[in-house]
């Protein structure tokens, strides 16, 4: 049993605590204070209250107490990584995320659909991916693009029918491609019949499916991720209801066993139809602290969302996930990947230890911004940070634990654009990013268009955007608070999720072969060569990525082989050995400038994004070699 931490604990005690280490790491990311300035012998010996000097003035004793309460709620300690390889299909697979609205429109309404995805299965098969993850396809009013589900057991009309889904599933399976669905279980749409009934009838058993509270003022000070309070007030019923996301995404009360039973039933419904697993949306937010206490204002200020310490890793999270897994996932051998914002390395271990049977994988987002930055900052991402993050992870995965490897998804601007807006080197950079993912020890996840090197869209005004997060931010800051529209636009255009949601570019017909009419989200400007052009070009990002995928499939060492980084201190240089039955060496220049090779070339060249190596490493160059004999 671990001793509870108190105000008298030392920084070192906190670092020893799994959640404590993760939280201090998060604190360093949030403030931009290097983790090495916290995790060193001198600071370890100091009292925990020293943290006051790290938080830019927001850390006081109340903050520390709130932090300690959260830490002390986690009783478990992760088992050490044992490096015993446990093969599984989802470790060997490359997952490809599809954003259905923006993939391919088969019926000319400007929106992608399931039949459109089915038509493109041969493309995906040629590319060489093994599994598709479909962002939500269920009945929804699409306030948050389907992450607001109103009918869990039906397909959204705009995407097609259950028959279309069966056809897609069968076609994918016949092509050796598995299918993972995106289940949003933290909240439902306010148009879900459960919520409609709960609001209408206080005596309905659905009332306790959600967090309804009475009173004159909002029940607590929690804020929503999409601006404003996390509470809706319904004047006609004189009642409040909780929504961590948009005001149409109502949080489900997982403390109600009936809710957990319903959700397990939904998962089983889709598994019975043959799906292979699920991505579980914000799954770490589902257990909320009893009594929904006020959030600490300091934590709110630091993280940007007040109340988060009361649900980021709630009191019953492990218990609920384990029960769901036993009831729905394990009997069908389903794969599960949790979307877990704010979950760090050690907590991730607890959530994915096979002996604990909660989830297979979790997605941490710590690598997507460099320390001190958030998604709405307009800055150049330094890939050295990614390298350091990967080095820190190495040794913590490979056996008992495993990690997903990803850059792009539907919630983030394109990584290529974040690293370097210069169009000239973007194709090389796109190839480099894909190579980093596809040669690493973990499950690579590509987001649609990443295989083409798609970059951010050239949005000119708020009218062009569709994302509720961006639109709410504009409404709150410009319309309601009267902030300078130019400044707010600059932030929005740096971070808007719509960059990744712009439709796929298939060919050179008017709407890039995505649709025959104006797409739901559209800017005419896009210079990335389309899929058809790239298919003909053996030097394209698509051709390179296809080769990488096939290389990874052919050599198990590129999947399970140990990782050994070399010349790690040389900024901007990436040197990685993968060692197993065979040996491979990956060398890369993570910068836009030429570089002298700090470590010699090794073995026979298999793949390069420049054709053949040169005396020096060119901007964003990546080379993959197979090694023979002894290595250095
Ligand atoms: O973009 C964010 C808010 O600033 C992220 O915190 C994001 O909302 C978070 O990663 C959760 O994302 C998931 O749940 C949301 C949905 O909007 C996202 O698209 C989804 O990936 C609510 O369901």
pLDDT tens for each residue of 510-523: 999 999 999 999 98
Contact between 230 and 187 under an 8 Å Cβ cutoff? The reply is no
- Asked if the model's pLDDT at residue 630 lies above 60, the reply is no
Q: What pLDDT, on the 0 to 100 scale, is given for residue 57?
A: 83
For ligand 1, say whether the CB of 346 is within 6 Å of any of its atoms: no
Q: What pLDDT, on the 0 to 100 scale, is given for residue 20?
A: 95
Residue 50 CB burial class (10 angstroms; 0-12, 13-18, ≥19): middle
Residue 510 CB burial class (10 angstroms; 0-12, 13-18, ≥19): exposed
Residue 354, C-beta contacts closer than 8 angstroms, at least 6 positions apart: 86, 400
- Mean pLDDT of the chain, nearest integer: 96
Contact between 23 and 344 under an 8 Å Cβ cutoff? The reply is yes
φ, ψ at 194 (rounded to 5°) = -60, -45
- Asked if the model's pLDDT at residue 56 lies above 80, the reply is no
Cα–Cα distance for residue pair 297/59, rounded to 1 Å: 10
Measured CA angle at 385 (ends 379, 388), to 5 deg:
175
Helix axis angle for 426-438 and 541-554, nearest 10°, is: 10
Phi-psi domain of 181 (left: phi exceeds 0; alpha: psi -120 through 50; beta: other): beta
Q: What pLDDT, on the 0 to 100 scale, is given for residue 430?
A: 98
For ligand 1, say whether the CB of 245 is within 6 Å of any of its atoms: yes
Distances (CA, A) of 319 to 216, 278, 351: 34, 19, 11
For ligand 1, say whether the CB of 147 is within 6 Å of any of its atoms: yes
Strands 595-596 and 573-579: unpaired
- Asked if the model's pLDDT at residue 357 lies above 80, the reply is yes
For ligand 1, say whether the CB of 308 is within 6 Å of any of its atoms: no
From 544, 552, 498, 539, select the one nearest 521 (Cα to Cα).
498
For ligand 1, say whether the CB of 225 is within 6 Å of any of its atoms: yes
431: number of Cβ within 10 Å:
27
For residues 54-82, give the mean pLDDT.
92
Whole-number Å distance, alpha carbon 411 to ligand 1 midpoint, is: 6
Rg of the chain (C-alpha set): 24
Per DSSP, the three-state class of 75 is: coil
Strands 443-447 and 95-98: parallel
* Active-site amino acid positions: 281, 339
- Asked if the model's pLDDT at residue 526 lies above 90, the reply is no
DSSP output for 171-230: HHHHTT-EEEEEE--SEEETTSHHHHHHHH-TTSTTGGGB-EE-SSS-SS--B-TTSSBS
Tokens 């053996």 — which residue? 538
- Asked if the model's pLDDT at residue 525 lies above 80, the reply is no
Q: Which atom of ligand 1 is nearest to the CA of 148?
A: 23
Cα–Cα distance for residue pair 542/440, rounded to 1 Å: 19
Cα–Cα distance for residue pair 584/586, rounded to 1 Å: 7
Q: Which atom of ligand 1 is nearest to the CA of 246?
A: 22
Q: Which of 132-146, 344-358, 476-490, 512-526 has the lowest average pLDDT?
A: 512-526
Start-to-end CA distance of the chain, whole Å, equals: 44
Percent over 90 (pLDDT), the chain: 95
Band of pLDDT at residue 629, cut at 50, 70 and 90? low
Measured CA angle at 384 (ends 435, 585), to 5 deg:
40
- Of all helices (H) and strands (E), which one includes residue 115? helix 114-119
Whole-number Å distance, alpha carbon 480 to ligand 1 midpoint, is: 23
Looking at ligand 1, which residue's alpha carbon is closest to its atom 16? Answer: 147
Cα–Cα distance for residue pair 93/182, rounded to 1 Å: 17
Looking at ligand 1, which residue's alpha carbon is closest to its atom 4? Answer: 225
Q: What pLDDT, on the 0 to 100 scale, is given for residue 1?
A: 74
pLDDT, tens digit (0-9, with 9 covering 90-100), for 377-419? 999 999 999 999 999 999 999 999 999 999 999 999 999 999 9
For ligand 1, say whether the CB of 281 is within 6 Å of any of its atoms: yes
Band of pLDDT at residue 125, cut at 50, 70 and 90? very high
Cα–Cα distance for residue pair 474/485, rounded to 1 Å: 8
Q: What pLDDT, on the 0 to 100 scale, is given for residue 183?
A: 98
Tokens 């409040």 — which residue? 240
* pTM given for the model: 0.97
pLDDT, tens digit (0-9, with 9 covering 90-100), for 136-185? 999 999 999 999 999 999 999 999 999 999 999 999 999 999 999 999 99
Distances (CA, A) of 549 to 190, 269, 442, 584: 42, 32, 14, 15
- Asked if the model's pLDDT at residue 192 lies above 70, the reply is yes
- Among 249, 281, 413, say which to mutate for ligand 1: greatest number of ligand atoms within 8 Å of CB: 281
- Asked if the model's pLDDT at residue 438 lies above 60, the reply is yes
Per DSSP, the three-state class of 47 is: strand
For residues 532-556, give the mean pLDDT.
98
Q: What pLDDT, on the 0 to 100 scale, is given for residue 53?
A: 86
pLDDT, tens digit (0-9, with 9 covering 90-100), for 82-121? 999 999 999 999 999 999 999 999 999 999 999 999 999 9
Whole-number Å distance, alpha carbon 225 to ligand 1 midpoint, is: 8
């Amino acid at each position: 049993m671990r001793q509870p931490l108190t105000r008298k604990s030392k920084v070192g005690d906190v670092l020893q605590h799994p959640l404590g280490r993760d939280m201090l790491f998060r604190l360093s990311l949030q403030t931009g204070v290097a983790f090495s300035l916290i995790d060193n012998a001198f600071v370890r010996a100091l009292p925990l209250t020293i943290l006051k000097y790290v938080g830019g003035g927001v850390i006081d004793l109340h903050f520390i107490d709130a932090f300690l309460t959260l830490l002390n709620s986690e009783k478990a300690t992760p088992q050490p990584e044992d490096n015993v390889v446990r093969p599984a299909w989802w470790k060997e697979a490359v997952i490809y995320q599809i954003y259905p609205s923006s993939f391919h429109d088969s019926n000319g309404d400007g929106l992608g659909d399931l039949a459109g995805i089915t038509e493109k299965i041969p493309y995906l098969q040629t590319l060489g991916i093994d599994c598709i993850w479909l962002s939500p396809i269920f009945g929804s009013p699409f306030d948050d693009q389907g992450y607001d589900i109103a009918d869990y057991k039906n397909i959204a009309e705009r995407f097609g029918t259950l028959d279309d889904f069966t056809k897609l599933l069968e076609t994918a399976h016949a092509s050796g491609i598995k299918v993972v669905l995106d289940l949003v279980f933290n909240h439902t749409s306010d148009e879900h019949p459960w919520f409609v009934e709960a609001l209408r009838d206080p005596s309905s058993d659905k009332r306790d499916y959600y967090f309804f509270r009475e009173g004159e003022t909002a029940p607590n000070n929690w804020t929503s991720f999409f601006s404003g309070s996390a509470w809706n007030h319904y004047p006609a019923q004189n009642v409040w209801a909780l929504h961590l996301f948009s005001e149409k995404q109502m949080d489900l009360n997982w403390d109600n066993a009936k809710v957990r039973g319903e959700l397990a039933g939904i998962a089983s419904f889709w598994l019975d139809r043959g799906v292979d697993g699920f991505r579980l949306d914000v799954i770490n937010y589902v257990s909320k602290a009893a009594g929904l206490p006020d959030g600490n204002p300091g934590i709110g200020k630091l993280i940007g969302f007040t109340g988060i310490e009361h649900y980021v890793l709630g009191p019953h999270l492990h218990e609920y996930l384990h029960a769901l897994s036993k009831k729905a996932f394990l009997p069908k051998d389903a794969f599960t990947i949790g979307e877990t914002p704010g979950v760090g390395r050690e907590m991730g271990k607890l959530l994915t230890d096979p002996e604990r049977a909660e989830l297979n994988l979790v997605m941490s987002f710590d690598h997507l911004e460099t320390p001190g930055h958030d998604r709405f900052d307009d800055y150049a991402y330094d890939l050295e940070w990614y390298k350091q993050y990967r080095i820190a992870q190495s040794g913590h995965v490979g056996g008992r634990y495993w990690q997903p490897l990803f850059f792009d998804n539907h919630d983030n601007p394109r990584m290529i654009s974040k690293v370097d807006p210069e169009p000239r080197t973007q194709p090389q950079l796109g190839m480099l990013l894909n190579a980093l993912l596809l040669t690493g020890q973990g499950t690579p996840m590509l987001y649609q268009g990443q295989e083409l090197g798609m970059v951010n869209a050239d949005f000119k005004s708020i009218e062009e955007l569709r994302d509720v997060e961006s639109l709410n931010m504009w409404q709150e800051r410009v319309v309601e608070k009267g902030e300078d529209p130019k400044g707010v636009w600059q932030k929005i255009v740096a971070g808007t999720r719509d960059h990744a949601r712009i439709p796929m570019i298939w060919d050179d017909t008017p709407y890039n072969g995505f649709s025959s009419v104006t797409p739901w989200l559209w800017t005419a400007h896009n210079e990335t060569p389309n899929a058809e052009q790239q298919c003909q070009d053996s030097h394209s990002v698509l051709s390179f990525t296809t080769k990488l995928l096939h290389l990874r499939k052919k050599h198990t060492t590129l999947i399970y082989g140990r990782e050994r980084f070399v010349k790690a201190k040389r900024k901007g240089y990436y040197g990685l050995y993968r060692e197993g039955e065979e040996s491979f060496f990956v060398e890369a220049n993570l910068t836009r400038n030429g570089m002298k090779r700090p470590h010699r070339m090794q073995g026979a060249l298999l793949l390069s994004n420049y054709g053949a190596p040169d005396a020096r490493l060119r901007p964003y160059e990546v080379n993959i070699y197979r090694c023979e004999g002894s290595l250095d």
